[in-house]
Structure 1
Amino acid sequence: MTMTDPTPPRFATPGSHAEVEEGTTLMPRFGADGLIAAVVTDFETGDVVMLAWMNAEALARTIETGEGWYWSRSRQELWHKGATSGHAQTVRELRIDCDQDAVWIKVSTAGTGANCHTGRKGCFYRTVPVGQKVTPALQLDFTGDVPLFDPKAVYGG
């Protein structure tokens, strides 16, 4: 399956400005690349655990199965979160933003609760110093979010 799979559309075509922003019909506005941003947070803590991308198939499968499905831009393929690691995401709530071009997914994660391929709870485990001159040597700081599993043992490498 490719991102531009010619299967019939599963979602309504975006309508007028008023229909998109105030209507009750789901009509996601995918970008020119066929993708929509997905902000994923932990249902219990509200912490952002990952930012991912979805094509129409990933969004449809997420809605239909109640589990996280995404589009991998690096691998150019659909992926079911947790299929390899066992850390599947159960969707507890899915919201769409005002102009229907981004989704917010609140999840509970199986296993250790890790959502990042590095083994950590979330993908945002480093901070960027603000108020400093930007140079190629700008250093990041770790937050203390340590790996919950060994990614090499799970994914190989």
Structure 2
Amino acid sequence: MKKDDAQDEEILSYKKISDTSTYQEEFKSVTSVSYYLKQPEPEQAPDNIQWYTETMKIDGFHEAFEWVTSGPSLEIGYMYTGYKTTNEYLAHVLLFELIRLDKAAAPRSRVRADYEWTSEGLLYKVWITPVTPEADNK
């Protein structure tokens, strides 16, 4: 007798279910997808985003912080509204800095992020959308 069969028999005897089909139906209801946490739908960037694509490769968070705070975090929202990069350090630091800057004063934009698989690997996307009274009422 296999280990799985022994466990099934033990569960059947514990539950006092004599009919195997009843047990299988009960097992399916307990292990159905509704009992698991569902992943949120990925955030979709609006069509009107002006993207800047970064090609720089950086090997650490300190370098990424120096690069992001000297340029992209100051330019996003003025020169362009979205930032694409394949470098995870740049994406993480930019996202952190944009949220930090936005929370320091009255929020003027909503910071969003997403990623997609490309032939080069993961493409990280960070973008902002302006806060408007119409958006808050929805």
- TM-score over 0.5 for the pair: no
Q: From the CA coordinates, give the structure whose radius of gyration is larger.
A: 2
Report which of the two has the higher share of strand: 1
**Which has the larger helix fraction?**
2
TM-score (norm 2): 0.25
